[in-house]
Structure 1
Amino acid sequence: MILLTSALFFVLGHVMSQTPDNDRINCYPEKGAVPLQTACVSERGCTWANDTDHPKVPICHYPADYGYEVTSKTRTVHGYRVQLRWKTGQSCAFSTPVQTVTLDVEHQTNNRLRFKFYDQSSPRYEVPMDMPGPDTAASPEYEVGIPDSGLFYINVTRRDTGTVIWDSSFGGFTFADQFLQISTKLPSRYVYGFGEHEHATFHHDLNWRTWGMLTRDESPGPPVQETAADGTMYDVERNNYGVHPFYMAMEEDGNAHGVLLLNSNPQDVTFQPKPALTFRTIGGVLDFYMFLGPSPEEVVQQYTQAIGRPFMPPYWSLGFQLCRYGYKNLEHIQNVVDSMRNYNIPQDVQYADIDYMERQLDFTLDHTNFHGLPAYFRQLQDEGMKTIIILDPAISKNETNYPAWDRGVQMDVWIKNEDQSGPAYGKVWPEYADEFLPGKMENASWDFQVENYRSLVGFPDFLKPSTHDWWHEQIVDFYNDPTEGIRFDGIWIDMNEPANFIPGNYDPTTNSGKCGNNIWNNPDYTPWVMGDLYSKTICMDAHQEGTDGTTYKHYDVHNLYGWSQTPTTLRSARVATGKRSIVVTRSTFPGSGKSGGHWLGDNTSKWDHLHKSIIGMLEFNLFGIPYIGADICGFWGEPDREMCWRWMQLGAFYPYSRNHNQKDVIAEQDPSAWGPEFAEASRAVLLTRYRLLPYLYTLFYEAHTKGSTVVRPLLHEFRTDRNAWTVDRQFLWGPALLISPVLEQGATSVTAYMPDARWFDYYTDSEVSSSSRGSNVTIPCDMDCIPLHVRGGYVIPTQEPATNTKTSRQNKFEILVVLNDDESAEGRLFWDDGESADTIESGDYLLLELRANAGGFTTIVTHKGYQPDSTTTIGSLKVLGLKSTVGEVKLNGVSTSRYTYRQNVLHITGMNIDLAASHEIRWSKTTSAAVHLIPARWQLLFVFAVLCALLT
């Protein structure tokens, strides 16, 4: 009986599972799959275990011995080369397994590890992205474990702590032609990253959540429902405009590491409560880069060192920006700008959306409604403002004498259809000319408009060098055109996923889109993305070309479209303007931050999008794109007054601060549109932003030169505080400024977490009670309030604000010193002319080290390649947190009476010292607080009066 039972268990070993629920890797991962026991066991070689009550636990899962075997492992100069063989007799549900896989392990640096799985006998697509090669790794912070024989797995251990940060011994590892899968255990439940999606929290939900990654013209929002094979409905998370297969994970002891899968094919990632995650992609290779930190901030610095440091924005681009899709005419724009000025609301940038174009054609001007726009934009520039125009990539072919199309044909710039017989046509914004639209229906449905009004378009292939030359020519010519052109200062590129209003390439027989039924458009496994791979874009079998003549399927490089358009757009804008410019792009990929910023897409005027915009900011700083923000007050829908009020307060602290909304909304939502009270509240919070711009600009210098984040979560600064690991309703500017916005309707207070540090209220200079450290505090907050706290130990350079940065840059600097418990503080100030290109690379800048202690403050010029105007001086110094009263102040050795000391705040005014020189300010301590609470010049009179009174 015992033998019979044992034999039965062996025969049914793939039916009755001993695998714990949270260890199971799904063997039916496709969208809408209905697992079948026979197929699970016989066709897929997996284990059937319908023995769980949890609806998300896989009932068909991979056995632990599924995968590849190690056949050899040899040392190389920088690590190992391992040969793997597909286990005999195994099945693969999707595509054809590669029988022999090569793994190269490279110890690239002490804190960067690369391990890459590929087919050595048959070259496969790899991302055409410059990544650093191996350098010296004399003392790597990691150990890599791979067995010499038997079932393959790879683990990575942090040397100094013994923490295992990667462990693929789960089973399920597959390297098939169009299905590549690997799983890893995670060292904790705190994982951040992967995008672009709308996430409810900054740290991921590990409850069997799957996120698809494929660039798509898709607004943020809740999951959408699709229909399973058995007719039931299931949720699919929205895949948005960018793809970022990068995550950062915390380890239980507060260390952090990051992992990039350098793969641009359609893919998804699944989290499970083990904690663990599974990568799946349907092409290319598995090319992983691991960054050892150990701090979260160091993880990002190491990541951006590999993919490229963020670009340095011009100073003006940190000012407030205003846009709307749906400006009716030039007068509409003028009225908005005038209204902003009437209320003295700061504004640096005015946009023109596609309304300014003739029928939404790039590089044209609507002379009926916007005839005077070029002259008006020049007027704004003369008055100290800047302008940005939008450009979409799709170019209409249904025109006569249209240089953008004609030159594109001559220079052969278009993405081709599958057989390369011509461009892969789609339909996007451009409309047919009026003569082709007899009886146009003004209120026609969207589908009717696309089918009957939209012209055919070609999509530039931005992987080709000739396309870069063509795009550059169009931008520069448009800038300089005396009749059609606009003298812009920056460019906003949209619709570059690339977006298409029909599914696939244009089919004249249906007047809609269609794609061939092949392995590219309809692979065996479709990742968890919305609809088909070609929904809202062109066919995956379209043909593209690379810089060296390499040919690609759009299937491989679709996710690189915006990434490939951004650098050439920035270069063209810089050449056209002759200055440092800016590009804001909708579609992004790792490395996009080198050339552009990003906004969080077509969000909605809902309260929960305030919170989600913070999460998006944190994620994109993690991705190396710190110039980031959301459409303030929301793009879709009409915001209510209170929500827009609170959103303006929050948006004043986006690195990229822009108010923008949709065309068909009746009401205006710019800060001047809501009446005097709203305008004054917006003015006040924007003036606070403008006062802090020197600090923000210096943070961007740090990002550009060191790869640091600009906006960062609390966990980056307080990584040993586990309470900080889940805070995502507050955020920091750099290490020193804590922002705690109101995010709920009707709220008159904020519950804010105060990490264990010395904190001061930015507005009142009062110190937060030490008993509040490491706890939540409730802060009263009326409608004119957004709580700001400054952290002890830091010096923050500020400047007297104005209504645009051209004016504010001419004002005096004000230095805010915030002492820590040891009565010390430090900071930096980066300063240049704010708009010349490559000032850092050419050395044309000023860099100051700012240091303070209990007895004084010094500025030290560490680089002097730029001389500010003589009026640009340090006018005042404020010191918070002194523990003794002040008796005498000396400025560069000379006593001064221009100071006050009240309530532990030393405020020195009227200094007017040269910004570009080193200075020393010293103060002496005294125990007589009664005397030194008043200006020093009155102290002798005070003493004299006391003596007189005694004598009397």
Structure 2
Amino acid sequence: MIPHINESQNDFDEIDLKYQHQVKKVKWHHRILLNRPLKVIVVLSLVAVVAPLLVYQFCFFTSISLPPSDGYSVGSCLIPRTMRLACGVGSMSEEECHPHCCYDRNLNMCFHRLPSRFSYIMNQPWNENTILQPRIATVPYSFQNSRTKIKLSIDEVSATHMTLTIYDSRNMSFVGNRIYNKDYTYEISSPELNIVVNATQGTIFDTSRGPLIASDNIWEISFKLTNETMYGFGEIPLKLDTTKIIYSRDSELNSIPLIFSKVNGSFHGLLVDINDPTEIYIRPDKQIVVRSITNFGFKLHLFTGPKPQKIMQDVMKITGRNKNWEYWTLGIHICNEVPGLNLTDFISAARAMPYDSHCGNRPIVFNSNQCKDSEISNINTVNEGANLVRSASKKFVPHVSPYIRYIEEDNNEIINATTTQAVNEVIESCKIIPKFEDLMYHLDNFELYKGNIDGYDVVYPEYDLNSTELLDNLWAYDTEFDGLVLENNWPLDVANKTFNGTDLLLPYFNKNFEEAFEHTPQWNLTLVNSTSLYLFKHNQYGNSFASAFRKKVINKPISSSSLFLNGRFAVNRQNVNTSWTDLHKELMAIALGGISGSWLWSSPICGDTNNFNPDNHANLCVKWYLAATYLPLIKIHSKDTPRHPLAFNGTRRAIITGALNRRLGLLPYYYTTLQEGPLLRPMFYQFPESKSLHDINTQFSVGESLIMIPNLQPFQSHVHMWLPPGTWYELWSGLKLKGKEGDPVTLATNEGDFFTAIRGGSILFIKKEATLTAEDTRLTIPFSTIIALECINGNENCHASGKLYVTPNMTLFFEATERNLTLTAEGHDFDPICDWFGGSWTPDLEFFYIYGLADEHNNYDNYRYVSKFTDLCFLMNDDELVVDFLS
């Protein structure tokens, strides 16, 4: 029998139960090892700390390296891939990457630390005489030596304009000006150089401790202008992650390197004043990187604004202003190069077509035997064409290129000379080039360089202000000309290029530069007795050619391609493709060019390249003609296929002719506007306080009173107008547009329409009809006025104002209410209006269109039409003239 206890366990007292056990102390690390949650936390902490260090070491460093021993900033490699700045050429092997840069093994990319170790240092607080020394002895480009003695100069030009110049001080020295009252402050950090410029709106320039590199044929700097929007280089707004090249060529002829930046609703600007080939990269983080093939350095102009108009005014003090233009230059210019197109036949067929000037039989190209007429030099052909144009009462405006064809004098064949002596013999026999030594030569053997254009060998003289004798001899034509269009002067050369030796002379050279150099003379040419490569002079070639002609013809209007920071000439746009996208690009480029200081820009209607197809592009051409109504200058340049109005039929020709006539009618307003500012303007320029309009690039202000809303898509049936502040009316019907500032208003349109609005408070002096030229229209057609009233409290207290520029010594002013128009004159130069035989303006004011009246005062749907003859010559004796609308 199994023994058992009779009493229940519950009967025992707990304190009577005694256990035999031994208590031991548990150490701290055992607690960690035996505590599962704590183990997880410890492991995760170690991973969080060690893993980044391992990634940092083995994924970003090119090698195991210690912090720099110089005591300056270490710099981090932990930079998001989208924010990395290429160190050197960027894509390379790990061995090629500079040891002071970072390397991404996955992308094979070498990039700068942040902050970069490639900086300059000083051993004292900065002043104009401080020598800056490189922190790193070599640069990421071919491991060249860093420039050891560079300086920073700051010139306080005015209260709103300062200049930063970073340059090699071995052969030059600059001392900046100082002024007391200015709208900016700047801070130059030491011992590591960093530049920060502040204005009333905030920070407007900051190098952000990015790289500053200076070495032979490569300088690099990075900076930031804003965290907001930028505009420039033909783009509204400026696109991020894009690269721009400053090197005159067939695709980028006149982009002024000016960037408008926005900070806190205000604007400031930066102008890149670098003559040498330069690459400007707009990064996704809005940092700007400038790399230049230069040995001078950088010159950057900063403008505080705070309005775009003030920036433009400051820029024009640098670039100058074109003052050699006349009223007729705002008309229509035509040039035909179509094979088989006879000028006599064209002039006969175009008797009823409005145009003002023509280039003659063909553009002018200089030849080595200009002193003798030949099949190629065509001296007689040019003279005959000029006479035909003048006999049709049009202006003769030839197109001229800067290069010279070489032709054997005896048999009119191209010279096949292999030595300078052979060419000199031909030149001597013709005796036309007194400065023949100023031509381009190969650097390696100093043989004469011959480019190729249209299958001909050509050479390139260097033009300067002493080239008058050269031009006199080259100009072998008997006829006078009324103006000039200088073209192909980047200059053009379609010969095959070689880029051998770029690795020896150009440590930084990429596809962007190769494409830019493609249709220009060989990059490594030189002049006799010159050690400077051609590429360093290339960007100034167009300026030199234009300036040489200006000295030859002082008072004639000149339009030129390839101008660099030169607003003293009208701009000739070239090589524009025929597409809807290119039409939009042209409008943006002209608008930005105008507010950058070049007010007179021409645009080839329907483009001027060989991609024009009359069947596919007919509707686009009609829209381009309608857009040209509102451009500063226009030209119709037909090369392989006609695109002048006579090339179209039926309704299309009627619409095109009507657009050209409408342009001639608007010229009094354009002529007045261009005395004080650009014609075509972006919205952010005209309405800087309307933030909702800043990024709009589908409508443009035309002066202060008009807005044009183009059709930029095929078969577009409507457009959207984003309303600026104030009251707006449809220009030709007087329909009042309803909405608040910034609201989009949808407006119907069609293939033959181009919507235009007029600002309330404006008076527009126009010609409702037109004759065959701008000057005839101005002289013979009576004035009409469109009065767009701005009314307060309904239709009470309405007003409008405007003016008409007549001569530098007289301007007419107009003030209107809902009841009358009052005219006054400032100045007393009435001869252009009132001289019956020698005048240039009609004195007749006859037709009035008043918008904004109450319905009971209108005699048309949306406006009141009044016809009252008024002689402006009465202002010679009376202080004012008053026209009553309601009587």
Tell me if TM exceeds 0.5.
yes
Matched, 1:494 2:509: no
Matched, 1:334 2:344: yes
Larger RCO, structure (CA 8 Å, separation 6 or more)? 1
RMSD: 3.6
1:18 alignment partner in structure 2: 78
Matched, 1:678 2:652: yes
How much has 1:646 moved relative to structure 2? Answer: 1.6
2:825 alignment partner in structure 1: 861
1:151 alignment partner in structure 2: 192
1:625 alignment partner in structure 2: 598
> Which of 279, 292, 297 is the matching residue for 1:281?
292
How much has 1:561 moved relative to structure 2? Answer: 0.7
2:305 alignment partner in structure 1: 293
**Whole-Å separation in 2 of the counterparts to 1:786 and 1:362:** 47
Distance 1:761 1:362, change over 3 A: farther
Matched, 1:531 2:531: no
Contact 1:901–1:907 (Cα < 8 Å) also in 2: no
2:624 alignment partner in structure 1: 647
Contact 1:598–1:625 (Cα < 8 Å) also in 2: no
Contact 1:846–1:916 (Cα < 8 Å) also in 2: no
Contact 2:139–2:145 (Cα < 8 Å) also in 1: no
> What amino acid is aligned across from residue 148 of structure 2 in structure 1?
Q
How much has 1:102 moved relative to structure 2? Answer: 0.6
1:61 alignment partner in structure 2: 112
**Whole-Å separation in 1 of the counterparts to 2:429 and 2:734:** 60
The 5-angstrom pairing of residues 761-910 of structure 1 reads 761-769=730-738, 771=739, 773-800=741-768, 801-810=770-779, 811-821=781-791, 823-832=798-807, 845-853=809-817, 856-865=820-829, 867-870=831-834, 872-876=842-846, 878=848, 880-882=850-852, 903=862, 905=864, 907=866, 909-910=868-869
Distance 1:170 1:361, change over 3 A: farther
Distance 1:138 1:277, change over 3 A: same
Q: How many equivalent pairs are there?
A: 790
Distance 1:860 1:18, change over 3 A: farther
> Which of 337, 350, 354 is the matching residue for 1:346?
354
Contact 1:797–1:814 (Cα < 8 Å) also in 2: yes
2:565 alignment partner in structure 1: 590
Matched, 1:912 2:885: no
1:72 alignment partner in structure 2: 124
Task: Give the match's secondary structure for 1:690.
Answer: helix
> What amino acid is aligned across from residue 818 of structure 1 in structure 2?
A
2:670 alignment partner in structure 1: 696
> Which of 707, 714, 722 is the matching residue for 1:738?
707
**Whole-Å separation in 2 of the counterparts to 1:752 and 1:405:** 65
**Whole-Å separation in 1 of the counterparts to 2:366 and 2:133:** 60
Contact 1:740–1:750 (Cα < 8 Å) also in 2: yes
Contact 1:157–1:165 (Cα < 8 Å) also in 2: yes
1:108 alignment partner in structure 2: 157
1:895 alignment partner in structure 2: none
How much has 1:766 moved relative to structure 2? Answer: 2.2
Contact 1:412–1:466 (Cα < 8 Å) also in 2: no
**Whole-Å separation in 2 of the counterparts to 1:814 and 1:337:** 31
**Whole-Å separation in 2 of the counterparts to 1:869 and 1:403:** 52
**Whole-Å separation in 2 of the counterparts to 1:490 and 1:748:** 40
**Whole-Å separation in 2 of the counterparts to 1:172 and 1:779:** 50
> Which of 237, 246, 249 is the matching residue for 1:203?
237
Task: Give the match's secondary structure for 1:647.
Answer: helix
Task: Give the match's secondary structure for 2:542.
Answer: helix
Task: Give the match's secondary structure for 1:113.
Answer: strand
The percentage of counterpart residues that share the same residue type is 17
How much has 1:757 moved relative to structure 2? Answer: 2.3
Q: Residue deviations 1:604-663, cap 9 Å, x none?
A: 222222212212212322442222233212222213321222221112222221222322
1:511 alignment partner in structure 2: none
Task: Give the match's secondary structure for 2:880.
Answer: strand
2:272 alignment partner in structure 1: 261
The 5-angstrom pairing of residues 83-122 of structure 1 reads 83-88=131-136, 91-94=139-142, 95-122=144-171
1:130 alignment partner in structure 2: none
> Which of 231, 255, 263 is the matching residue for 1:192?
231
Contact 2:486–2:572 (Cα < 8 Å) also in 1: no
Task: Give the match's secondary structure for 1:565.
Answer: helix
1:891 alignment partner in structure 2: none
Distance 1:903 1:541, change over 3 A: closer
Task: Give the match's secondary structure for 1:694.
Answer: helix
Task: Give the match's secondary structure for 1:785.
Answer: coil
**Whole-Å separation in 1 of the counterparts to 2:483 and 2:313:** 27
Distance 1:318 1:25, change over 3 A: same
Contact 2:543–2:563 (Cα < 8 Å) also in 1: yes
Distance 1:20 1:557, change over 3 A: same
TM-score normalised to structure 1 length: 0.76
2:102 alignment partner in structure 1: 47
Task: Give the match's secondary structure for 1:346.
Answer: coil
How much has 1:372 moved relative to structure 2? Answer: 6.6
> What amino acid is aligned across from residue 84 of structure 2 in structure 1?
R
Task: Give the match's secondary structure for 2:633.
Answer: coil
- In structure 1, the gaps of 5 or more residues are 127-132, 221-239, 431-449, 505-513, 575-579, 703-707, 833-839, 888-898, 925-931, 937-952
Higher Cα radius of gyration? 2
How much has 1:782 moved relative to structure 2? Answer: 2.3
Distance 1:526 1:860, change over 3 A: farther
How much has 1:83 moved relative to structure 2? Answer: 3.5
**Whole-Å separation in 1 of the counterparts to 2:348 and 2:484:** 23
**Whole-Å separation in 2 of the counterparts to 1:14 and 1:915:** 84
1:434 alignment partner in structure 2: none
Q: Residue deviations 1:564-593, cap 9 Å, x none?
A: 11122234344xxxxx422222222111x3
How much has 1:902 moved relative to structure 2? Answer: 7.9
> Which of 79, 82, 87 is the matching residue for 1:27?
87
Contact 1:407–1:470 (Cα < 8 Å) also in 2: no
> What amino acid is aligned across from residue 471 of structure 2 in structure 1?
W
Distance 1:866 1:22, change over 3 A: farther
1:425 alignment partner in structure 2: 449
Contact 1:503–1:537 (Cα < 8 Å) also in 2: no
How much has 1:922 moved relative to structure 2? Answer: 5.0
1:171 alignment partner in structure 2: 210
> What amino acid is aligned across from residue 395 of structure 2 in structure 1?
K
Contact 1:86–1:98 (Cα < 8 Å) also in 2: yes
Matched, 1:709 2:678: yes
How much has 1:140 moved relative to structure 2? Answer: 0.7
**Whole-Å separation in 1 of the counterparts to 2:400 and 2:825:** 42
Distance 1:594 1:370, change over 3 A: closer
1:224 alignment partner in structure 2: none
Distance 1:273 1:356, change over 3 A: closer
**Whole-Å separation in 2 of the counterparts to 1:360 and 1:783:** 49
> Which of 317, 320, 323 is the matching residue for 2:335?
323
Q: Residue deviations 1:769-798, cap 9 Å, x none?
A: 2x2542222221123211111112333222
Q: Residue deviations 1:512-551, cap 9 Å, x none?
A: xx6773678x511025525277533333343359xxx997
Contact 1:356–1:366 (Cα < 8 Å) also in 2: no
> Which of 387, 393, 402 is the matching residue for 1:384?
393
**Whole-Å separation in 2 of the counterparts to 1:831 and 1:97:** 59
- In structure 2, the gaps of 5 or more residues are 1-45, 63-75, 411-425, 793-797, 837-841
Task: Give the match's secondary structure for 1:306.
Answer: helix
